[in-house]
Structure 1
Amino acid sequence: MAKPITVWLTRLTPLHFIPVVTILEELQVPYVIQSFKFDDVKKPPFIDINPNGRVPAIVDPNTDLTLWESGAIIQYLEEVYDTEKKLTYNSVKEKHLLTQYLHFQMSGQGPYFGQCGWFNGLHPEKVPSAIDRYTKEVHRLLGVLNTLLEGRSWLVGDKCTFADLAFLPWNCRLDMVLLTAPGEDPLAAYRNVQAWHKRMEDRPSWQKAMDIRAKLMDEQGLQANGMPKGVTNIKEYEDYMAKAAEPQQ
């Protein structure tokens, strides 16, 4: 029996650990979560684990390896623990296609979706040029995925892989990223992506990861959409953020 892997994360960043937890759940690898305050992300002991001061990071006692960067962690878990090839393939072609799509997620979807969400909802000042740029990039990337998934259920081969699951967390946040109107599905214009997303959302591993996320969000006083409890719309959220940014007396 493998010893549990420790997954380090801060309580303010539950989104970033979800792909790692989902993969661990898919592979039924034992793990424990080490949650700590965001204020301590640049302090020991975490800075000794990840000098870059970003989560997630893992410590695997079974191989004596400490690893950070979610993409690297996912590839490691696949190589070491996916002995039955549940989420990957052995063949050279498929293996490299999976790597390609994981890099596409890390260099494309993650950064651009994140910047769009920041400038739309979190930046203290409205910067129209930045909002326009990153909103267009989000739609461009969704268009690319929609084309890739034409006539396909999964990005590579005939099963869900780690490359598919890597895209799931940010697609779940599209309503906040794009400030979608209540009740509107931001994936409605991208039918292939929408169906792909739904297939992954129905997986038990994802539902377990979301249960863990909900618990962590509740502990830090946040709703499922990431807004503080008591905040019901974007205007209230902007007012909340503006007040939080005011200098303390």
Structure 2
Amino acid sequence: MSHGKQFTLYGDAGGPNPWKVVLVLTELGLTYESIFLNISKQEQKSPEYLKLNPNGRVPAIIDHENDNFVLWESNAILLYLVDRYDKDHKLSAATDAEKAIQNQWLFFQASGQGPYFGQFFWFNRYHSEKVPSAIERYYKETERVYSVLNDVLTKQEWLVGDKITIADISFITWNKAAFNSILGPDYHVEEKFPAVYKWNNAMTSRPAIKLVSEIQAEVRKNAAH
């Protein structure tokens, strides 16, 4: 079966996790076709999609140049992409020690930033009843994650070695959600966590990442109509 693009990427218009995959695909110059699922209509729970991702979440990818290999979980996808397609280590660690540190931060993002930021947003904005203890817990955890990052980034420019890697990139989309909506308009990240703010700006000023931001804005605009 012939495919025009190397990858098929299943995602949605607004969710942070699929877009981090888009960031790495774009940085590496890999071609992909996006299929956007309507999360509000539970399309990610359809029998067809569950055959690809039994967890019923986005993202998932199909690598058509690797025997239609299917993979889900966003940070696992990032690791796969650089392990297979970043032989020059443009976005990935090269030594065993740096790979271990890279993976450490990917786990921290997946177990800390994503869940805590998401739970704070849910309980603060969407939960059917106000649960002050839950809001307080996840607000404090959100700040704790940024405190950890800020402490490290005060001493160094990037999380791993002396260049941007997928470890850094994995945080971008949840940072965007936090800065724009999760923490609210009166929360000043640049004052509370200046090293995080500087690091995030260094990443989002990259041409590929600016391009993805423009693409996402257009996708979200079209999805709203």
Give the letter for the 1:33 counterpart.
Answer: S
The Cα shift of 1:141 comes to: 1.0
- Structure 1 unaligned runs (5+)? 223-249
99-108 or 186-195, which moves further after superposition? 186-195
2:213 aligned partner = 210
Q: Distance in 1 between matches of 2:101 and 2:218?
A: 35
Q: 1:30-62 CA deviation, whole Å, 9 max, x = no partner? A: 111012332221113211111111000000011
1:5 aligned partner = 7
The Cα shift of 1:84 comes to: 1.1
The within-5 A match list for 1:1-249 is 3-11=5-13, 13-38=14-39, 39=41, 40-64=43-67, 65-175=69-179, 176-181=181-186, 185-221=188-224
The Cα shift of 1:88 comes to: 1.1
* Root mean square deviation of aligned Cα: 1.6
The Cα shift of 1:3 comes to: 4.6
Q: Is the 8 A contact 2:8 2:62 kept in 1?
A: yes
Q: Distance in 1 between matches of 2:59 and 2:191?
A: 31
Give the letter for the 2:134 counterpart.
Answer: A
Q: Distance in 1 between matches of 2:220 and 2:126?
A: 17
The Cα shift of 1:185 comes to: 2.9
Give the letter for the 2:8 counterpart.
Answer: T
Q: Is the 8 A contact 1:120 1:179 kept in 2?
A: no
Q: 1:198-240 CA deviation, whole Å, 9 max, x = no partner? A: 1011011211221221122112218xxxxxxxxxxxxxxxxxx
The Cα shift of 1:177 comes to: 1.4
Is the radius of gyration larger for structure 1 or structure 2?
A: 1
The percentage of aligned residue pairs carrying the same residue is: 40
Q: 1:86-145 CA deviation, whole Å, 9 max, x = no partner? A: 011221110100000000000011100111111111212211101110111111111110
Give the letter for the 1:197 counterpart.
Answer: N
Structure 1 consecutive aligned stretches of length 4 or more whose deviation exceeds 3 Å: none
Q: Distance in 2 between matches of 1:157 and 1:121?
A: 38
Q: Distance in 1 between matches of 2:146 and 2:133?
A: 20
- Structure 2 unaligned runs (5+)? none
Q: Distance in 1 between matches of 2:206 and 2:126?
A: 31
SS, match of residue 22 in structure 1 = helix
In terms of fraction of residues, the more helix-rich structure is: 2
* Aligned residue-pair number: 218
Q: Distance in 1 between matches of 2:84 and 2:76?
A: 12
